[in-house]
Amino acid sequence: MIYGIGIDIVKIQRMKDASEKWGRKFIEKILTENEIEYCFDKKEPYPSLAVRFAAKEALIKAIGSEIAVNMKDIEIINTENGRPLIKVSGKLKVFFEEKKIKHCHLSLSHEKEYGTACVVLET
């Protein structure tokens, strides 16, 4: 059964501007060390930063406003073949257990100006 659906879109230039203005402090506030490493291993990190931010926002929308979420309790990881997955921790992991959320489906996409993410939560 579907628990929630969320979608978000982020302008890639917005992520670049925020990163340049606030530096690593901004990035460390929203991404885990693994995510930062993944993004900055790429020639152009900002599309990957944008879709990860969009994925976190989409997940927050999918759960509604039932709990306050720390962005770093959401980690976007990739399987060996590149498939993106969401890993939760902290209060969010407890929330998933209480609500019996078993599957978190994630789709990411980026194109020239925008990064987008869609999340579907299943019990």
Contact 4, 105 (CB under 8 A): no
* Structure-token pair, residue 53: 């931010």
Nearest CA to 48 among 69, 68, 31?
31
Q: With left for phi above 0 and alpha for psi between -120 and 50, is residue 64 left, alpha or beta? A: left
Just list the catalytic residues.
61, 110
Strand positions, DSSP E, the chain = 2-11, 74-78, 84-88, 103-111, 114-122
Q: Which amino acid appears at position 62 of this protein?
A: A
